[in-house]
Amino acid sequence: MKVIIVGGVAGGATAAARIRRLDETAEILVFERSGYVSYANCGLPYYIGGIIRDRKELTLQTPESFRARFNVDVRVHHEVTAIHPQNQTVTVRDLESGRVFEETYDRLLLSPGARPVVPELPGRELDGIFSLRTVEDTFRIREYVDQHRPSSAVLVGGGYIGLEMAENLTELGIAVTVVQRPRQVMSPLDYDMACQVHSLLRRHGVSLRLGSSVTGFASSGGKLQVLLRDEEPVSGDMVLLAVGVAPDTDLARNAGLRLGLKGSIAVNERMETSQPGIYAVGDAVEVTHSVTGQKALISLAGPANRQGRIAADNICGGHSVYPGSQGSSVLRLFEMTIATTGINEKAAQAAGLDYDRVLLSSASHARYYPGARNMTIKVLFEKASGRILGAQILGGDGADKRIDVLATAIRAGMTADDLTELDLAYAPPYSSAKDPVNMAGYVIQNVLTGKVRQFHWDQVDTLPRDGSVTLLDVRTPREFEAGHMDGFINIPLDSLRERLGEIPLDKPVYVTCQVGLRSYIACRILSQHGYDCQSLSGGYGFWAAVTQERCVSQAAPFPCGMEKS
């Protein structure tokens, strides 16, 4: 059997190694148009920032090591320019010599990945404007930084690559501005969670231009100008375009393979394309989202590796299936860990799911043990069943651990009840006796069973201030004096029972505290005394973080709706 693999990195390289382990006699050829067949894609920004110092550390396998260990013929700087399914051949161009030739195959695996979206805008060809996708791109950017010593940079795009580059360039002492057309960075996050990331970036000196559309580029006074629609341009010594990626599927399209979402390659659960004998994996393929069952594009290394293994099994006569992706990801940004899994609110709404969400602030480990840091955890769940749909976590140590537990729970179809029953490891340096994942289950249980009714940060401004409801803040007087929401009165939780007479029994009560725990306790007290009570999910702290960020972007002097004494 002769197998040709188009493209290396995660999917193609994994498939090549797996095929060899399953079939010692197969002839395996890998054609890779770049100079590197297997490299640490996610490590590229850290080489530019100097955290990874040796460029050799970026290379996981070379053509020589692949040949030695797996007896795989890897040809870099070779581009497959056409597929001829009827003849089972491909046309290949040697990019160094210019020679064009054809190769036959018995099985063909496409792993072309995705290409950076490079807007066709005026001035795009100017020196000092880069995109980052390959090792060669990385070396060009690093060389430019070393030679020109830029003092400022403009990053167009606020996704994974854009934010990793923002951190690394900032650590090099370069003033960074991030320009983003959406009004938030990190699209897997909901807006309310992204607001904390905005605040973090600004604390580290990163300027944000959110909701801004780039119309072109120019050069003026030795600086690059990023031109914006209806706004003043942003200038910098260098520009990085990180506006996203698109499936690289020209080969598949020209070969007549069936395409899917946004021009991606359509495959079945065995990673087979519409053409017999041709498989496809990685960032170029359409997948099924394991939470919604809808088609999706998920460009992550983990899914690409798994797909490469599954395709290899089936190429070698097996029957492996890919159950879908749920988009679990994690990013370190300065001192914050940003972690997501499953779907966010926008995706839940698009899928027509009847969902709700909870917010909680939990310590990374026992509070009495030194070094505990709070994590903000947001969990989406299905109202009818309690099934966990998605989670987002912002924090420090331990955030990655909790997102992995929640990712496993989502994959297993677990409900809130199941989260409460998880038997998770505990010791003071690592967790609490009630792990944050257990706590998320308890909070959802309370909502589903009616033990507490909740309202959310985006409903605060809609609450009447005409006396028809009671707005109650149960924090301490000192906390209340430091800042509170308009119209709320202060009765500390510990004196609530003695002061019930100050709260009219015939009016709904909306309660807040700092993070949501004390307001929950207050609502349990009030509801058992006959009050109609709701608790603010996430508390004043979360509301203030979101509204403050919203007002910063509007140049307001302090958080909207906040009163200061």
The SS3 assignment for 215 reads strand
The three-state DSSP-derived secondary structure of 403-453 is HHHHHHHHHCCCEHHHHHHCCCCCCCCCCCCCCHHHHHHHHHHHHHCCCCC
Where do runs of H (alpha helix) occur along 289-344?
A: 301-315
Which candidate, 359, 437, 444, 443, places its Cα nearest to that of 398? Answer: 437
Question: E-strand spans in 33-77?
Answer: 38-39, 59-61, 73-76
Q: Element (H or E) spanning 195, and its range?
A: helix 191-203
Angle CA 117–235–331, to nearest 5? 50
* CB contact set of 388 (below 8 Å; sequence gap of 6+): 342, 379, 380, 381, 406, 409, 410, 414, 415, 416, 419
Q: Assess contact for 281 and 15: CB atoms under 8 A.
A: yes
Q: What are the φ/ψ torsions at residue 88 (nearest 5 degrees)?
A: 55, 55
The whole-angstrom separation of Cα 233 and Cα 291 is 41
What is the β-pairing status of strands 562-563 and 484-485? antiparallel
Q: Assess contact for 284 and 111: CB atoms under 8 A.
A: yes
Which candidate, 264, 268, 271, 266, places its Cα nearest to that of 248? Answer: 264
513 is catalytic: no
The whole-angstrom separation of Cα 247 and Cα 256 is 16
Q: Which residue has the tokens 């990190």?
A: 186
Which candidate, 66, 82, 81, 84, places its Cα nearest to that of 29? Answer: 66
The whole-angstrom separation of Cα 480 and Cα 489 is 9
What length is written for the chain? Answer: 565
**CA 467 to each of CA 207, 471, 489, 508, 540: distance values in angstroms, whole numbers, following the listed order:** 42, 9, 12, 10, 21
Q: Which residue has the tokens 């944050």?
A: 436
The whole-angstrom separation of Cα 236 and Cα 233 is 10
Q: Assess contact for 287 and 310: CB atoms under 8 A.
A: no
The whole-angstrom separation of Cα 47 and Cα 58 is 8
**CA 216 to each of CA 111, 130, 243: distance values in angstroms, whole numbers, following the listed order:** 32, 14, 14
The SS3 assignment for 104 reads strand
| Active centre residues (catalytic) | 42
